[in-house]
Amino acid sequence: MQICPSILEPTAESLFRTINRLSPFYKYFQIDIADGIFVPNKTVQIEEIKDTLNKDSLYKDCLFDFHLMVSDFKSDINKLNELKKIINIKNIFIHYSAIDHLKFKIENLSDIPIGLTLNPQDQISDLTSHYALDTIPCLQIMSVTPGVQGNPFLPDTLNKIEQLRVLGYKSKIFLDGAVNDKTLSVINNLKYKPDVICPGSFLTKAKDLEANVNYLKKLT
């Protein structure tokens, strides 16, 4: 399993402070963008990130995914299409439950791969009723209710990984939410493991960051 720290911060200053703290250990990050509408809290916005990077064009050796916990994801995708001129963006994740499925197509919104995020209540049967699995570049399973780091782990959500693999989904599956020392043993015992895990507060709020990094290395 690959590790991609999930970073949820209210300001550009705190975002880049967290990236700077983690970057001795990781070069691949998932940035959470929340609008205060789709989820109850609000994070740093993409335009704030872009303005900060215009002044300080660091992070050229880093790779970023963006997890859009927003209602107006099309607007944010357009902003990310501009931001990719400054930093390396690998994937964009939008929430399945934010989509008008009758009008939406993943293709043509961006040349950055756009994956779908499944909330705890979203079922694989719902997903497959609207999309052919082989058209989705990557999928992210939320193992918590999204929006705030620290929400409780929901182990039943892990069943979706096996369901996807049994149905023949071959692309990468990400797991986001409460990935820590209490839940990794459960994740490691799965028959079908996620390809990428996204620890959040276990890294970003760690008192002993190096110890937590080493713990993850031993279990992944």
> What are the pLDDT digits (tens) for 96-149?
999 986 666 666 678 899 999 999 999 999 999 999 999 999 999 999 999 777
Q: Are 75 and 45 in contact (CB under 8 A)?
A: no
**Where is pLDDT greater, at 58 or 19?**
19
Rg over CA atoms, the chain:
16
Locate 48 and state its tokens: 């704030």
Q: Rounded to two decimals, what is the model's pTM? A: 0.95
Residues contacting residue 66 through CB under 8 Å, at least 6 positions apart:
30, 31, 33, 46, 76, 80, 89, 91, 92, 93
> What are the pLDDT digits (tens) for 35-46?
999 999 999 999
Locate 97 and state its tokens: 């439950």
Share of the chain above pLDDT 90, in %: 86
Locate 55 and state its tokens: 């002044």
CA angle 189, 192, 197 (to 5 degrees): 80
Locate 149 and state its tokens: 């780091």
- Using DSSP bridges, classify how beta strands 114-118 and 88-95 pair: parallel, antiparallel or unpaired: parallel
> What are the pLDDT digits (tens) for 158-174?
999 999 999 999 999 99
Instruction: State residue 199's pLDDT score.
Output: 97
Q: Are 56 and 90 in contact (CB under 8 A)?
A: no
Instruction: State residue 73's pLDDT score.
Output: 95
CA dihedral 215, 11, 140, 65 (to 10 degrees): -90
Locate 45 and state its tokens: 């916005």
CATH 1.20.120.530 fits 2-219, yes or no: no
DSSP state of 173: E
